[in-house]
Amino acid sequence: MATLSSAQASKKIEDLKKKIADADYKYYVLAEPDIDDYKYDLMMKELEALEKDFPQFKSDDSPTNRVSGEPTKSFKVVFHQAPMLSLANTYNEEELYEFDKRIKSILPGEKFEYVCELKFDGLAVSLIYENGKLKSGATRGDGEKGDDITQNIKTIRSIPLSTTHSKIKYFEARGEVFFRKEDFLKINEEQELKGEKTFANARNTAAGTLKQKDSKAVAERPLQFFAYYLRTDDVKLASHSDNLKLLKDLRLPVNDKWVKVSSIEEAKKYCDKIEETRDDLPYEIDGVVIKVNSLSQQDELGAVSKSPRWAVAYKFKAKQQITKIKSISLQVGRVGTVTPVANLEPVFLAGSTISRATLHNFDEIERKDIREGDYVKIEKGGDVIPKVVEVIKEKRPKGLPEFPHPTNCPVCNTHLEKPEGEVAYYCPNTACPAQVQGRIEHFVQRDAMEIEGLGFQIIEIFIGKGFISNYADIYDLHKRKKELLELERFGEKSITNILNGIEQSKEKPFDKVLFALGVRHIGERTAKILAKHFGSIDKLMNATQEEINEVHEIGPKISESVAKFFSDKHNLKLVERLRKAGLKFEIDKSITQKINPLFANKTFVLTGTLEKYKRDEAAKIIEDLGGKTSSSVSKKTDFVLAGSDAGSKLEKARALGVKVIDENEFEKMIG
């Protein structure tokens, strides 16, 4: 190695990178390996040694960079250059034909084709390639923004770190990350051997794996990827079917079961054929995606809300199994709701073993006449949540008694209440251990305060030891560090990580804190609406129920719940303790002041190569200043920000009379 000249080493490194990339493509994408593992490992070791001796030639797209040496501390937020829209669902032939009718009404007299693709049960991600190299990978998130998971994406061997094309230098590919059925079963077998909890389904496991902070842990799991979307301004794109072929030319894995059809009748036949054979596929699918093929027609059809008008998901009927209810147990949630759950004889269904199923409420038990000892038909709602569909009455043993309505809380024995007009029973005791645990788990979850390390088992231990009895106690745990370190199986590193996570959570914005409080009926979106309208916890606490009810999108149930929560002295004490701990109870004024009237509610389309900004940076500036970004130009577009080599979008903007600006004008608008 050391005897090589710099020029020789550089050439050798590039040759090895190309050979390894070819081997990965043939093995992971084409499933046609042409070298054995031993030869592959030798090439990888030779490359590692060369890069060590000649570090100046080690590049970001080297296969030795697939796994990062250091775990990431947190995931940065990435703003998508074009929204990652969700699909509208159809569940039967009538709804599918209604979709076709709407297309024809918007495109009267026009001929069009559909492309039908499998709908994978995985996690949608976006990949950005710049100058032929994988620049970033991100989760879909809320459609507008997601998490930067670039380092974890690199561990997926079927995703190329670099790609070459004579004309395409910058492009975005979107697709689905998933596990094969066989691989998911192996993962659960390994969990069982280690004595750890098995995973409920492959989709959530894939999502959880991609959010691991240590890419080494991600690399140990055989994640797969299929690309189904391409966006670039470097060449003129005409149809979705051509894009799928182009993605394949770019060496991204594309599922080969897609078809192009000329009518909705042909699309339905394809759906029926796939539904019949779905169990034979090596991966889980839950339907077929049907898209208008022409991209110009897609632009003309546009989108409604967060779904495109030009595409629809035809969802398959949920898979079903028959099993026996061994018993019915009662669970108490964080706001005291008592939910009946069926404990089942384990049965394999849609990729996982099911031993429990929700019964929703006691009216549901009565309506379906569900009893302990019954044989029932179960299915996975949306192929995720198991539920009881019906009782197999002919298999019912004689003399099974009806399941009684509860009178007392199964955890604290407090007499239950059933509010008028509601189907659920509630435990009114806010000190009920089940509610305490539930409220703390809700408080620390990712969508709320996101306190790393405080899982349900650790919370249970801390409650049992008397360290915490409510979520405000979390911020006093640093005073108990000595006691925490004395706990069995808790090392200094894990305790330090928990305490650091608690400290970092103090930076969460007001709307996250409001959601974390666990006010009944207050979800993430409602918390954002209330935080934005009132601006601070004090104004919200002092608002009357009528004033809260007047807020757009807030109804009487929510306003009553908020008023009730802040009239409780115990809750007010918790809020004050959290305030003293340093949590944010008002909107960051520096953010609200950033809204620029030139950007507020305006839609921007970015095209061409920008010199001063990366596209995601420009998109984030637009979003931060109150604007929106879109992937396509229409009459509703306010501005097109055009860089060099702008393509068809620039032409369309001029044809429609949309204002086109360059980077200098963009900077003047920013001010």
Catalytic, out of 12, 26, 119, 133: 119
**Would you give the distance in Å from CA 422 to the centre of its chain?**
32
Of 171, 266, 284, 309, the residue nearest 226 (C-alpha): 284
Q: How far is CA 580 from CA 472, 506, 534, in A?
A: 10, 11, 21
The encoded tokens of residue 307 equal 């779904």
Q: How far is CA 184 from CA 122, 179, 188, 201, 539, in A?
A: 12, 6, 6, 8, 49
Q: What angle do CA 536, 585, 581 make, to 5 degrees?
A: 155
Lookup result for tokens 């250059």: 81
The encoded tokens of residue 239 equal 């149809």
**CB-based contacts of 431, cutoff 8 Å, min separation 6:** 412
Residue 47 is given by DSSP the state H
Amino acid (1-letter code) at residue 481: K
Dihedral of the CA atoms 98, 100, 105, 109 (nearest 10)? -150
Lookup result for tokens 């084409």: 30
| Helix, strand counts (H, E) of the chain | 25, 23
The encoded tokens of residue 656 equal 């429609």
Tell me the β-bridge partners of 342: 328, 357
CB 347 within 8 A of CB 378: yes
* 178 burial type by CB count under 10 A (0-12 exposed, 13-18 middle, 19+ buried): buried
CB 1 within 8 A of CB 53: yes
- Other C-beta atoms within 10 Å of 400: how many? 13
**Residue 119 is a catalytic residue:** yes
- Integer Cα distance of 363 and 540 in angstroms: 35
The encoded tokens of residue 386 equal 């198991």
What is the separation, in whole angstroms, between the first and last Cα of the chain? Answer: 55
- Integer Cα distance of 427 and 549 in angstroms: 26
HEC string of 522-571 equals CCHHHHHHHHHHHCEHHHHHHCCHHHHHCCCCCCHHHHHHHHHHHCCHHH
- Integer Cα distance of 531 and 15 in angstroms: 56
Lookup result for tokens 């040694």: 49
Q: What is the DSSP string of 171-236?
A: EEEEEEEE-BHHHHHHHHHHHHHTT-PPPS-HHHHHHHHHT-S-HHHHHTS--EEEEEEEE-SSS-
Q: Would you name the residues annotated as active-site residues?
A: 119
